[in-house]
Amino acid sequence: MQDFGNILNNQVLLVALIACLVAQLLKLLVELTKDRKFNLRTLVTTGGMPSAHSALVTALAAGVGQTMGWASPDFAIATIFAVIVMYDAAGVRQAAGKQARILNQIIDELFQEGKEFNEDRLKELLGHTPFQVIVGSILGVLISWLAAPAYCF
């Protein structure tokens, strides 16, 4: 049980999770402003502005750098991890979303004349634009920087 308490005392982890939560809340506000609808589902979906994935991993890497040192192997690992996650969010997952959009369009056109198609539509908003990833990463670093006094236990 003591191990669980140690996890809750990990300031770097908590700040990274807070950065992710703040990004998700901002995503809700962006959608509310854009669509004029309050959609709580936005809090748990992927894609959108800003990238919560990017905020999480950059806050994590910045926190590791602030606590362990910018020249530490720990910071190097966290940074490489962050780069891979952000590349995936803006590259691979965005491409998968584009493919889903095209497949959904094909299905709509094929089954226009009343034919039935009983499969669920594919989720199209999977990834992020590079701008959404950059904004998320800036948000993560900013939150980590603002929380820097918390790292001084």
Please state whether the predicted TM-score (pTM) of the whole model is above 0.85: no
Which residues, 6 or more positions from 144, have their beta carbon under 8 angstroms from its beta carbon?
A: 15, 16, 19, 58, 59, 62, 63, 66
Tell me the per-residue pLDDT of 92-102, one tens digit each, with 9 for 90 and over: 766 666 777 77
Tell me the per-residue pLDDT of 30-40, one tens digit each, with 9 for 90 and over: 888 887 887 77
